[in-house]
Chains A and B, each alone.
Chain A
Amino acid sequence: MIAKKCGKQSVKFSTPVKIISTYSIVGQKEGNGNFKDYFDYILKDDKFGEDTFEHAERKLIEHAIIHGIERAHLNIQDIDLMLAGDLLNQITSSSFTARKLNATFVGLYGACSTMAESLAVGACMVDGGFFKNVVCATGSHFSSAERQYRFPLELGNQRPPTSQWTVTGAGCAILSADGPNDCNKIYSATFGKVVDYGVTDVNNMGAAMAPAACSTLIAHFEDMHTKPEDYDLILTGDLGKLGSELLIDLMEHNGYKLGRNYSDCGQMMYNDNQKTFQGGSGAGCSASVLNSYVMRKLSEGSIKRVLFLATGALLSSTSAQQGDSIPGICHAVEIRRE
């Protein structure tokens, strides 16, 4: 009966789900970073012509979705379902975008793991034959995240060396049951468990999320009977420099060696002169890198098999203030190009 489930946490799609179009948009700082030549649109003004940062974040997601749909030569009416989420309270950036687009909408919350979460859920929906065209999108804005989770922007405080920089950016991928055969496709997905190793430092998200990434990565290898060398690229979302080192150590402890094919979007996002300490974070981090650099490399054929794992820290400012530790989650999707 359950023919598509693989092992404990994974699913394998009977017909690989086509990613017919992708779009990425980022802020100025990201536009000066390592992927500047890959992003589709770089903001000239961090507020994107809006009056508040929250409105700007909403517009980022909206812009990514509208242009993603356009690039797929579809109309908004052709979209059967929109799967999206963001970091703001009650995921308003996504739901308000859905209101504007008049889209059938399922809101997701996986913190910074939302890109992988939406792709995994969306691929299930498409392969299950329920919907034809599904939009998967997420985004974040540095300033709206700072306002919600940390201090006012103009406060003259210092950031600790373990901190990461929330990426201003959004990404959108359109999954379809139709479309050309020569496109990037999702072959399998692994849904993560909520893992908590008792880290309470809100300025060290990499350490809080690395165990979740480790758990999902092991589950994926076991369920799919693969090993790290089988992939051209294993890419985590926003563990940052420290978090990715922790993941490599944790994996080695569990008998898996992550080699040169392992990388992290957050770690790669900025160059060293941009003083972001551990690198990028936020839902927009993995979303913008996946939907620009990674998809382009797959299309060019320089890499053929990617395991994309977006990690999220499932805390709220209230839970952190009440002394709770930070639970992490990580979802994985395997994307291939034949």
Chain B
Amino acid sequence: MDDKELHEKYNAYVQAKIPKTKNFPSLFYSYLVGGLICMLGQGISDTLLAIFPSMTKDAASAWMLIGLIFLASFLTGLGVYDRIGVFAGAGSIVPITGFSNSIASPAIEYKKEGIIFGLCVKMFSVAGPVIVNGLAVSIIVGIIYMFL
């Protein structure tokens, strides 16, 4: 048996043996927490619209996003957000709060290596790809929109 064949055989055997994530509880908790975060967001924007009747819907959404981003960063700083993430999984990563967490957590982590080369450089080490992809897609969509 040559090396390649041995490696393939071993890896197939390992794959068959590894414990799998249980689908039902993971999905349940991620939908539960993700749904609660979305409800909270909706709650914030509805409350704002109720208190300030002159506010536009777009402005209320912007304030709601700012509120959620702040809350997630704050909980990250307190060391709570990662604990939510342990059982919520994608439920707390996919909403904007997860994005906030992914910027706040390296910022806290790398502060010790200095403000410029630690905090500023490493701050986007997790969220960087999201920003790059977001920008790239927005440019493509913008070009398409120009011709429509």
Contacts of A49 in B (CB 8 A): none
The answer to whether B126 touches A155 (Cβ under 8 A) is yes
A277 to B22, CA, bound (A): 13
CB-CB contacts of B76-89 with A at 8 A, as 1s and 0s? 11010111111011
| Interchain CB contact under 8 A, B17 and A52 | no
B110 surroundings in chain A (CB, below 8 A): 152
Question: What residues on B are CB-neighbors of A245 within 8 Å?
Answer: 17
Query: Which residues of chain A have C-beta atoms less than 8 A from B102's C-beta?
Result: 155
Q: What residues of B have a CB within 8 angstroms of the CB of A161 in the complex?
A: 18-21
Complex: A249 Cα to B16 Cα, angstroms:
13
Q: Smallest CB-CB separation from B8: which chain A residue?
A: A198
Q: Chain A, interface size: which category?
A: 20 to 34
State which of A147, A152, A211 has its C-beta within 8 Å of the C-beta of B126: A152
- Which residues in chain B, 116-130, are within 8 Å of chain A measured between CB atoms? 125-126
Residues from chain A with Cβ under 8 Å of B86 in the complex: 156, 158-159
- Binary flags per residue of A44-70, CB closer than 8 Å to B gives 1, else 0: 000000011000000000000000000
Asked, given contacts A147-B109, A151-B126, whether A162 binds B79 with beta carbons under 8 Å apart, the answer is no
Q: Is the interface of B mostly helix, strand, loop or mixed?
A: helix
Interface check A129, CB cutoff 8 A:
no
- The chain A residue sitting closest to B72, CB to CB, is A156
Interface residues of A in 288-337 (CB under 8 A from B): 325
Nearest Cβ in chain B — how far from A151, in angstroms? 7
Contact A152–B109 (Cβ < 8 Å): yes
Known A153-B82, A156-B101, A242-B19: A197·B112 in contact at CB below 8 Å: no
Any chain B CB within 8 A of the CB of A273? no
Closest B residue, CB atoms, query A196: B7
Question: Chain A: which residue is nearest B10 at the CB level?
Answer: A197
Complex partner residue of A207 from B8, B14, B85, B106, CB under 8 angstroms: B14
Kindly report which residue of chain A lies nearest to residue B91, judged by CB atoms: A156
Which residues of chain A are within 8 angstroms of B115 by Cβ–Cβ distance? Answer: none
Flag if B101 contacts A154 (CB, 8 Å): yes
From B7, B18, B77, B83, A197 is in contact (CB under 8 Å) with B7
Return the CB mask of A210-248 against B: 1 if under 8 Å, else 0. Answer: 010000000000000000000000000000001001100
Question: B34 contacts the other chain (Cβ, under 8 Å)?
Answer: no
B21:A160 contact, CB within 8 angstroms: yes
- The yes or no answer to B139 lying at the interface (CB within 8 A) is no
Chain B CB within 8 A of A204 CB:
yes
Which residues of the partner chain A approach B20 to less than 8 Å between Cβ atoms? 161
Set of chain B residues within 8 Å of A160, measured between Cβ atoms: 21
Most chain A CB atoms below 10 A, which of B19, B20, B92, B98? B19
The 5 nearest A-B residue pairs measured at CB? A156-B85, A198-B7, A154-B105, A152-B109, A152-B105
Question: Mind listing 25 A-B residue pairs with CB under 8 Å?
Answer: A147-B109, A151-B105, A152-B105, A152-B109, A152-B110, A154-B76, A154-B81, A154-B101, A154-B104, A154-B109, A155-B102, A156-B76, A156-B85, A156-B98, A157-B82, A161-B18, A161-B20, A162-B19, A197-B7, A199-B14, A204-B14, A204-B18, A211-B10, A242-B17, A277-B19
Binding site for B on A (CB under 8 A): 51-52, 147, 151-162, 197-199, 204, 207, 211, 242, 245-246, 249, 277, 325
Residues of B at under 8 Å CB distance from A? Answer: 4, 6-8, 10-11, 13-14, 17-21, 76-77, 79, 81-86, 88-89, 92-93, 98, 101-102, 104-106, 108-110, 112, 125-126
